[in-house]
Structure 1
Amino acid sequence: MHYRNFRTAFFLKAFVIAIALGLVSCKEKPNTAAMSEGAEKITTEIRDIERVEPPNWWVGFKNTELQLLVKHSDISERTPRISYPGVHIKAIHKADSPNYLFIDLEIEKTTEPGKFNILFEHQDHEALMYTYTLMPRLKPAEDYIGFDSSDVIYLITPDRFANANSENDIVETLQERRIDRTDDYARHGGDIEGITDHLDYIHDLGFTAVWPCPLLINDMPEASYHGYAITDYYRVDPRFGTLETYKALSEGLHQRGMKHVMDQVVNHCGIEHWWMSDLPFKDWLNYQHYFENEGRAIITEHHRTTNQDLYASEVDKALETGGWFVPVMPDLNQRNPFMASYLIQNSIWWIETIQLNGIRQDTYPYSDKSFLSDWAGAIMDEYPNFSIVGEEWSTNPLLIGYWQEGANNKDGYDSNLKSTMDFAMQEQIVKGLLEPETWGTGLIRLYNGLANDFAYPNPSDILIFPDNHDMNRIFTQLGGDIVKTKMALSYMLVLPRVVQVYYGTEILMNDFEKPGDHGLIRTDYPGGWEGDPVNVFTGEGLTDDQKDMKGFLKTLLNYRKHSKAIQQGKTLHFAPKDGVYLLIRKAEDEIVIHVLNSNTEPIAIDLERYDELGLTGTVFKDIINGDEVLWKDRLTLSKPGSLILTSKF
């Protein structure tokens, strides 16, 4: 600390330390209540220490333990001391680096919120001090309600959605200091306020939740826009906004009855992370010795099956979960107990701070799976109604199902993970819609793909999606065919699933120019920048096809938002025949029938095949255009596409 008047500051600080040590007191024997009251009245916070993480905590958790990471020059030579009712130091751990201490605290269930000083004493030097805050929790743990099959989540790449605050586009203290919207891999200026300002638009489209790609700081020299190379796990990237604007996003969502899903990354950090210049332990990272001694990273070979493979070698298993994802993303060693605690506490800190409803965990099978079970278990134990979805990029349903809680895994593994991502079904939908109709191709792929639900403990908790920030846009995948794109979207939106839709799908955004190019996949949302010739938010400049797709999706999403049949109804489907595939969702007095038709010529289907439904004579309404349809004898389908009928109107 630096003071203009060192002498005055020295005596002031000495007096504060004396109070904290109990050497100065207004009462001979201060009682617990008085000490708590005094602590709560600390108004001058002292920050002699470079870094303490988590930066604050809360009272009232089931788990009464907290581990503080303390970073400061030669801090290991000092002894921490706390005098606050209900807070006790259980253990002090030195690291391999002398500049770290890890302090295990016990926070009793009856501990009152307030501020207290942590003293770091040294026999030869003045004590250092850090003011720590214990906060009251804003709501009961049970009220953190996660996402489920009633939700459709809007996925956003924040840098590319909308720029509401141009003043934070460039931050001179960070390494990447340029805005270039013509460069797919540069920053474009989108920010948190840009999302918050358009929540009404997202809500009116019919979405019930928002998942932004990571918003934490990526102080990397290039391509820092995507967010997956975090350089400080407790700091919002200032080019996106502040912690307060992040909170405002959550508040805006909750005011509209919507949910907030945070994209987190426990597998790796960015190579410019603050701890990379002074790692706490020799095993803080995986394959750390290669990086430090040979100047190279050991890269994973992406053999994700080693997590389940009964015959996998130890070397293959170690390389899968220990290898770095890319050379600029060091792989975190969650087998180090201090790293494990750090990551678990960080997730909980963000849940409480931002009032989250769910977490999307990146690159799930690349982390140590024992840690993942502990991580998810710790979160779900504190927040029983919360939701976590893990990214398992596999088209094998067996691998996807392995990670879901309740799976009867042969190795006894219990993930504690509520939801996984349905890459398998996504692939089958795209393949089926692109193929000709034969005995084993075409719509039968969709039917067989859904039949795999028997392998999942809870199919309706699995997350389906047409595309995401790492894949070709769905319109691109389906060859620019609007009818097939509508078929894919409508089918996914009536399945027993949580659904995620990537921003821009509603206006047929694509990556035709450079298919698969991540920078193009994450392109700017028209109207998010002042002066854009096309503005999706106002409708200005949209083509007829874009308006039609937006209207189609909006109508279906808003119906789904109130449909018990789709959200939690029973599912029945009939094997495709003559290029027609029917799926039915039913709950109480509501029936939704989804028809996929691949025929380019008109076809009349005999409804006798569906007599077990008992629907003869029932009048349905076409959800999209409002036409009435009588379910009797034959149903004529005049063109290819999807027909979505409801009995409730």
Structure 2
Amino acid sequence: MQGVLRTLEQTGRLIVLAGWMSLSMAVAAPESGANSTTVVPPTWWTGMHNEQLQLMVRGDNIAHSQVTVDHPSLKIINIASLDSPNYLFIDLDLSEAEPDEFLFTLTKQGVTTGQFTYTLNSRKPGNDRGFDQQETIYLVAPDRFANGDMDNDSIAGLSDKHQPDAPGGRHGGDIQGILNHLDYLQHMGFTQIWSMPLLENAMDSYSYHGYAITDHYRIDPRYGSNSLYRRLSHEAGQRDMGIIMDVVLNHIGSKHPWMDDLPAADWVHHGGEFSPTTHRREALHDIHGVEADKKAFSDGWFVPTMPDLNQQNPFLATFLIQNAIWWVEYAGLSGIRVDTYSYSDKAFLSRWTKALMNQYPQLNIVGEEWTTNPVITSYWQQGSHPADGYQSSLPSVMDFPLQQALVNALTNEESWGSGLIELYGILASDALYGDPYNLVTFTDNQDMSRIFTQLEENYALRDMAMTYLLTSRGIPQIFYGTEVLMANPGTDQHGIIRSDFPGGWPHHQQHAVTGEGLDPQQQKAQNRLRTLLAFRQQHPEAVTGNYLHYVPEAGIYVYFRLDPQGMPVMMGGLNKNADVSELQLERFSPQLSRITQLTRLKRQQDRCCNGRLTVSAGAKCYSMAAAIT
């Protein structure tokens, strides 16, 4: 018990009244798993766009309590109880409140049953940032990237222990490991870090992936602490890098405390009993469809261990909105990636994104909608014009259609309807999007085979894929280890796809940072990626300008990036021919008529821009900077 009390003293103020134990999160989010009365959000700030706040208080038999606060500047608007006897929801008006610590008193029939303190802080200036086309995102699986603190590999009270040799087990990577690699990532040229979820996953097994959250305000202690996560954001910011948080709105882990005591009977779909989703996202867009098919998609569970949340419950909706705002403010985030975006209630998604964007106009939020149909992906992006008039405030979506089209373009034989024309065709659908330049593009991610495997470990094709990704429209995301050709040959098992990053553990024979043990091809791949990332930083106009392309001909696809005046600043090409090709430049005269010189990125060789351009044989890509006179 003394150990519990020491932990409580570290996370808030402990007050005992009439046998009542209350934990006030007055300084930071809970860093322990102590079973006590809790208040969330753990703290808040004055001067926020929305001047109202809803506290969720959990404690034994506190429903229907009366609540008073010790200062008139903080007004209680409403007190609500739902179906559980152990939850109380307090709506506050912060419009006149100043930063301070406030004492709340709970009473029943005139008898004081408990108290808790709550802290309002002042906001830090400049806590509104985002990411755009100039950025390049590095996606990490934190458990598999680097083990910076071996003391937290296993934690008492969390049953899923350290299993470094099990593909689905916890390997020990953590936030400290990411911190230790910030200089490497900066040197490579990455400007944003997106980590798979870092919040607590107190599941019995397979918890390392992070998508079965059991505490929305606590970093999993096997990764570190809330304060260490904030330090990661701060130190990344000192290197002009941002942090993107992976947020799960659709479901929770079955070990979440809610599942033992639902605040409301409708908090989770299907009464808390497993009923699988159909995954038929098309039902949401089907003008011939029925409501039952939409509900079967949205209300179903992914798996028995991931209960599906009902965001139509207004108290749950507010909880999820405030949780996201809290993390952005607390950690100074530059963006949010939302897992399984379309599975949540779409009216709630409009409310959630609008609240975030009203508070942080510069923030970027990208939703995951795993479909290769751009009609469906574009539906969710702000500024698109879906047939049903749906209003979205979501700035970005993951560009799964482009990912599949790029792989098909490189691996399928050239014909009238296959090969490079597939890439051209998907980009010709960009008119569906509110802003195609703000889509997040990628060659692979945490849920699919690595790009080197998808391309059958053909280095030339891999080079084409990476060069195109980093010079085409959109915001590129690269999966950790892609720079050193990480692969998953012969299997699509997620635990293998998310293998350990070379050099992230002391016993590794290969080390991506130092280059030790890397073979010549891995070194070549890493250097090539570093060159492309340097090009993006040195020539931002070449990766932010308007995209213009030509219908592929004779196995060659040519595209340009244009400045605001319509002048080309970069010319790129994908050549799939086995022999040396002669590219007739007259076709591109509308772009090249005022250009006197082309500089090949790879070897910095100058080429003339009239007549013909000799394009080397093989599956290679040439990205050329235009020198304008």
- Structures share fold, TM-score greater than 0.5: yes
Amino acid at match of 2:621: S
How many residues are aligned here? 603
Q: Is 1:152 the equivalent of 2:131?
A: no
Amino acid at match of 2:143: D
Q: Which residue of 2 is the match for residue 215 of structure 1?
A: 198
Q: Which residue of 1 is the match for residue 608 of structure 2?
A: 630
Amino acid at match of 1:231: T
One of 575, 584, 599 as aligned partner of 1:621: 599
Q: Which residue of 2 is the match for residue 646 of structure 1?
A: 625
Which residues of 2 match residues 570-585 of structure 1 at below 5 A? 570-585=546-561
The CA deviation at 1:147 is 1.2
Q: Which residue of 2 is the match for residue 369 of structure 1?
A: 346
Amino acid at match of 1:583: Y
Question: Cα deviation per residue 1:515-555 (whole Å; 9 max; x = unaligned)?
Answer: x1100111100100012111111100001000001011110
Q: Which residue of 2 is the match for residue 196 of structure 1?
A: 179
Q: For the structure 1 residues 310 and 112, does the alpha-carbon distance in structure 2 shift closer, same or farther, using more than 3 Å as the test?
A: same
Amino acid at match of 1:599: N
Distance across 1 between alignment mates of 2:109 and 2:88 = 17
What SS does structure 2 have at the residue aligned with 1:593? strand
One of 174, 180, 187 as aligned partner of 2:170: 187
The CA deviation at 1:333 is 0.4
Distance across 2 between alignment mates of 1:531 and 1:262 = 30
Amino acid at match of 2:99: P
Q: Which residue of 2 is the match for residue 118 of structure 1?
A: 104
Distance across 2 between alignment mates of 1:555 and 1:216 = 34
Distance across 2 between alignment mates of 1:617 and 1:235 = 56
What SS does structure 2 have at the residue aligned with 1:389? strand
Question: Cα deviation per residue 1:168-218 (whole Å; 9 max; x = unaligned)?
Answer: 0010111112x2222110000000010011111111111110000000000
Distance across 1 between alignment mates of 2:406 and 2:390 = 30
Question: Cα deviation per residue 1:10-40 (whole Å; 9 max; x = unaligned)?
Answer: xx9789x9xxxxxxxxxxxxxxxxxxxxx99
Which residues of 2 match residues 132-147 of structure 1 at below 5 A? 132-140=118-126, 143-147=127-131
Pair member with larger Rg: 1
Question: Cα deviation per residue 1:339-375 (whole Å; 9 max; x = unaligned)?
Answer: 0000000000001111111100000010000000000
Distance across 2 between alignment mates of 1:530 and 1:125 = 59
One of 318, 332, 339 as aligned partner of 2:295: 318
One of 62, 69, 74 as aligned partner of 1:82: 69
The CA deviation at 1:491 is 1.1
One of 421, 426, 437 as aligned partner of 2:414: 437
Q: For the structure 1 residues 602 and 14, does the alpha-carbon distance in structure 2 shift closer, same or farther, using more than 3 Å as the test?
A: closer
One of 553, 566, 574 as aligned partner of 2:542: 566
Q: Which residue of 2 is the match for residue 31 of structure 1?
A: none
Question: Cα deviation per residue 1:566-608 (whole Å; 9 max; x = unaligned)?
Answer: 3321222111111111101122676111111001111112212
Amino acid at match of 2:552: P
Q: For the structure 1 residues 14 and 217, does the alpha-carbon distance in structure 2 shift closer, same or farther, using more than 3 Å as the test?
A: closer
One of 537, 561, 585 as aligned partner of 1:607: 585
What SS does structure 2 have at the residue aligned with 1:523? coil
The CA deviation at 1:648 is 4.7
The CA deviation at 1:48 is 11
Amino acid at match of 1:199: L
Distance across 2 between alignment mates of 1:562 and 1:259 = 19
Cα contact 1:48–1:128 (8 A) shared by 2: no
Q: For the structure 1 residues 412 and 129, does the alpha-carbon distance in structure 2 shift closer, same or farther, using more than 3 Å as the test?
A: same
Cα contact 1:564–1:590 (8 A) shared by 2: no
Which residues of 2 match residues 407-556 of structure 1 at below 5 A? 407-514=384-491, 516-556=492-532
The CA deviation at 1:563 is 2.2
Cα contact 1:527–1:535 (8 A) shared by 2: yes
The normalised TM-score by structure 1 is: 0.90
Cα contact 2:248–2:339 (8 A) shared by 1: yes
Distance across 1 between alignment mates of 2:277 and 2:16 = 51
Q: Is 1:127 the equivalent of 2:104?
A: no
Cα contact 1:404–1:418 (8 A) shared by 2: yes
What SS does structure 2 have at the residue aligned with 1:302? coil
Q: Which residue of 1 is the match for residue 148 of structure 2?
A: 164
Q: Which residue of 2 is the match for residue 340 of structure 1?
A: 317
Q: For the structure 1 residues 616 and 65, does the alpha-carbon distance in structure 2 shift closer, same or farther, using more than 3 Å as the test?
A: closer
Q: For the structure 1 residues 49 and 121, does the alpha-carbon distance in structure 2 shift closer, same or farther, using more than 3 Å as the test?
A: farther
Q: For the structure 1 residues 447 and 127, does the alpha-carbon distance in structure 2 shift closer, same or farther, using more than 3 Å as the test?
A: same
One of 564, 568, 571 as aligned partner of 1:593: 571
Deviates more, 1:589-598 or 1:95-104: 589-598
Q: Is 1:262 the equivalent of 2:240?
A: no
Distance across 2 between alignment mates of 1:508 and 1:48 = 45
What SS does structure 1 have at the residue aligned with 2:496? helix
Distance across 1 between alignment mates of 2:418 and 2:490 = 29
The CA deviation at 1:127 is 3.4
Deviates more, 1:576-585 or 1:212-221: 576-585
Distance across 1 between alignment mates of 2:295 and 2:594 = 59
Q: Which residue of 1 is the match for residue 254 of structure 2?
A: 271
What SS does structure 2 have at the residue aligned with 1:235? strand
Q: For the structure 1 residues 85 and 565, does the alpha-carbon distance in structure 2 shift closer, same or farther, using more than 3 Å as the test?
A: same
Cα contact 1:267–1:332 (8 A) shared by 2: yes
**Runs of 5+ consecutive residues of structure 2 not aligned to the other structure:** 6-14, 21-25, 28-33
One of 26, 41, 45 as aligned partner of 1:58: 45
Distance across 2 between alignment mates of 1:135 and 1:488 = 47
Cα contact 2:560–2:568 (8 A) shared by 1: no
The CA deviation at 1:638 is 2.2
Q: Which residue of 2 is the match for residue 238 of structure 1?
A: 221
Q: Is 1:100 the equivalent of 2:87?
A: yes
Q: Quote the RMSD (CA, aligned, Å).
A: 2.1
What SS does structure 2 have at the residue aligned with 1:287? helix
Distance across 2 between alignment mates of 1:513 and 1:270 = 30
Q: Which residue of 2 is the match for residue 174 of structure 1?
A: 158
One of 285, 297, 309 as aligned partner of 1:308: 285
Deviates more, 1:633-642 or 1:119-128: 119-128
What SS does structure 1 have at the residue aligned with 2:282? helix
What SS does structure 1 have at the residue aligned with 2:219? coil
Cα contact 1:405–1:418 (8 A) shared by 2: yes
Amino acid at match of 2:152: N
**Runs of 5+ consecutive residues of structure 1 not aligned to the other structure:** 5-11, 18-38, 41-46, 292-296
Distance across 2 between alignment mates of 1:144 and 1:566 = 26
Percent identity, aligned pairs only, is: 42
Amino acid at match of 2:66: T
What SS does structure 2 have at the residue aligned with 1:549? helix
Cα contact 2:382–2:391 (8 A) shared by 1: yes
Amino acid at match of 2:590: E
The normalised TM-score by structure 2 is: 0.93
Amino acid at match of 1:366: Y
